[in-house]
Amino acid sequence: MNEEQLISWVRKCIQPIGPISTRPIMQGQAIYLEGVLFAYVAGEQLWFRTDDESDLVWDAAGSEWLRGAKKDGTPTYEPYRSAPESAYTDEKEMRKWAKQGMAAGRRGKTKL
Condensed to tens digits (0 to 9), the pLDDT of residues 44-96 reads 999 999 999 999 999 999 999 999 889 999 999 999 999 999 999 999 999 99
For every residue of 48-80, DSSP letters joined together read: EE--TTTHHHHHHTTPPEEEEE-TTS-EEEEEE
The CATH number of the domain covering residues in 3-107: 3.30.1460.30
Per-residue confidence (pLDDT) for residue 110, from 0 to 100:
57
> Would you state the pLDDT for residue 88?
97
- Higher-pLDDT residue of 83, 112: 83
Strands 65-69 and 36-42: unpaired
CA angle 36/14/59 to nearest 5° reads: 70
Q: What percent of the chain has pLDDT over 90?
A: 91
Position 19 scores a pLDDT of 96
Whether the model pTM is above 0.85:
yes
pLDDT of residue 41: 97
Which element (helix H / strand E) includes 102? helix 91-107
